[in-house]
Amino acid sequence: MVRCLPFQYHMSHLLTVDLHLHSCYSMASSKSMVPEKILDACRTKGITCVGTGDALHPGWREKWEPFIGNTRDIVVVPTTEVEDTNRIHHLILLPDFGSSENLSGMLAGSSRDMATTGRPHVRLPAREIAGAVHACGGQIGPAHAFTPWTSLYGRFSSIRDAYGDENPDFLELGLSADSSYGASIAELAGVPFLTNSDAHSPDPAKIGREFFSLEVQDKTPEGVLNSIRTGSVTLNAGFFPEEGKYNRTACSRCFVQYSSVEADTLGWRCPADRGLIKKGVRDRAAELSGLSTTKRPPYLHIIPLGEIIQKVEGTSSPRTRKCCSLYDRFIQTWGNEIRVLTEIPVRDLAEEDERVARAIDALRNNQVILHPGGGGRYGFFSIPGME
C-alpha cells in the first residue's frame, strides 16, 4: 500500500523593503533615529521590511533587541554600512544580531571607532571585509555604487579589483542612478540591484524614498537574505536619477555642470572658481557600459508625497503645518504613502485634494520636469502648471 504524503504549499509574500539607513549614533543623523520612530515611519510610508542600520554598534543592537521578532507587520533585518581602507562604502546584511556581534568582533581589531559611531571605518580592503561577512552568514555589496565619493566605481573599474574572489551578493544603485545605469555593465549581469533610502532621519520623506519589492517564502531576516540570493527582486523604486546630487558631472563648489569631455579638457578644475569637477554618475556608468543590456525588474520612479505637497502648496519645506496637515489626511484616508503614490485611482485622490491628485497623475505619466543635480547638490523637479 502506497502512503501519500500531504502536499505542502509554501505561500510567498511580497515585501516592500528598505535596508539601508542610519541610527542616532551615525554622523549627521537625527537624534530621533531610534527604533520606535523608524518603525512608525515605515508604517506611514508602507515599508514592510526594514534594515536596522548600524548593527555593529553595541548600543544600537541593544536598542533594537526588544523589537526583533516582535513586529508582526514589519520584518527587521540587521544591517550596517562600513567604510574600507580605500574609502569605499559597503552595505552589509546579516541574518541575526548574533552574527552582527560576531562580525563586530572579527573587525574590531581593524577599526578604532566600532563602538563609537554607526558607520565605522575598517582598515581592511573590501575582499577581507567580504570574507568576514560571508563567514558570518551575511551578505555584502557596494553601497551607492556609482557616486564619485566613497563608492566602488568611484575608486575602481571592476568588482574584482575591489572584492577579489569574494563576490558581492548585490549592488546598491544609490539615489543618482536607476537600473538602466547598471543594466549594460557586463560584470553586473548576475548581480541583484537593490534600491534603499540611506535615510538619516525618520521623516517619511527620507525613509523609503527608495525601496524595492522582494518575494520571500519566509517573513524573516533569513528569508529576506535567501530571496536576495536567488534574485527574487520584483521591482525597484526610487528617485529619478536626475534628482540625485551626483547625477551630472559638475563643479563641487559652484555646481556648474560640464560634459565629461569638457571636464577632461579643463583638467577637472572649474575655470570659474578652481573647484574640483566631480564626474557624474551618468557619465561614469556610460564609461563602464557595453552594447548588450541585461533584463532587469521594472524601475518605478517616485517622488516623496511630502515633496509633491510642498510643490503644490508653494512652501519652503514639506514640514510646514499646512503641508503636514494635508499629508496626514492622505495617510489617514488611504493607509500609507506608497499606496497613495502608486495604487489609488487619481479620481479618488482628487476627493481629498484635486491639486495633489493632478501632480500624482503627472508623476505616474512621467510628465514631471527634471532639473538635474551634480557636484554634491541635489536636483529638483517641477510640475507642469505648478512652477
The DSSP line for 127-160 is HHHHHHHHHTT-EEEESSTTSSSSSHHHH-SSHH
Q: Which three cell numbers stand for residue 235?
A: 521591482
Integer angstrom CA distances of residue 350 from 31, 344, 367: 36, 10, 18
Cα–Cα nearest to 277, from 295, 300, 298, 254:
254
| Rounded-to-5 percentages of helix, strand, coil across the chain | 35, 15, 50
pLDDT for residue 323: 96
Residue 292 in any domain: the answer is no
Are residues 80 and 121 both part of a single domain?
yes
Residue 295 in any domain: the answer is no
Residue 296 in any domain: the answer is no
Distance CA 98, CA 106 (A): 12
| Phi, psi values for residue 209, rounded to 5° | -65, -25
Residue 254 in any domain: the answer is yes
Are residues 203 and 252 both part of a single domain?
no
Residue 104 in any domain: the answer is yes
Are residues 348 and 201 both part of a single domain?
no
Range of the domain at 341: 304-367
Integer angstrom CA distances of residue 178 from 152, 228, 263: 16, 18, 24
Provide the 3-class DSSP secondary structure of residue 271. Answer: coil
Domain count of the chain? 3
Are residues 266 and 182 both part of a single domain?
no
Are residues 117 and 137 both part of a single domain?
yes
Residue 372 in any domain: the answer is no
The CATH number given to whatever domain includes residue 105 is 3.20.20.140
pLDDT along the chain (387 residues), means of 10: 46 94 95 96 97 96 87 93 98 97 97 94 98 98 95 96 97 96 96 98 95 96 97 97 96 97 98 97 96 95 97 93 97 98 98 96 95 96 84
CB 142, CB 174: distance < 8 Å: no
pLDDT for residue 387: 64
pLDDT for residue 67: 87
Cα–Cα nearest to 20, from 199, 287, 262:
199
Are residues 137 and 22 both part of a single domain?
yes
State the pTM of this model. Answer: 0.94
Place of cell 479618488: 348
Alpha helices (H) in 266-383, listed in sequence order: 281-288, 305-313, 321-334, 337-342, 346-352, 354-364
Residue 296: Cβ-neighbour burial (10 angstroms; 0-12, 13-18, 19+): middle
Are residues 23 and 172 both part of a single domain?
yes
Are residues 129 and 54 both part of a single domain?
yes
pLDDT for residue 71: 80
pLDDT for residue 386: 76
Are residues 169 and 237 both part of a single domain?
yes
Residue 231 in any domain: the answer is yes
Residue 299 in any domain: the answer is no
Written as one letter, the residue type at 117 is: T
pLDDT for residue 5: 44
Q: Which residues pair with 17 in a beta bridge?
A: 49, 212
Are residues 23 and 82 both part of a single domain?
yes
Q: Which helix (H) or strand (E) holds 222?
A: helix 221-229
CB 196, CB 19: distance < 8 Å: yes
Place of cell 574584482: 160
Are residues 237 and 251 both part of a single domain?
no
Place of cell 575598517: 122
Q: Within 10 Å of residue 181's Cβ, how many Cβ atoms?
A: 26
Are residues 349 and 224 both part of a single domain?
no
Distance CA 222, CA 96 (A): 8
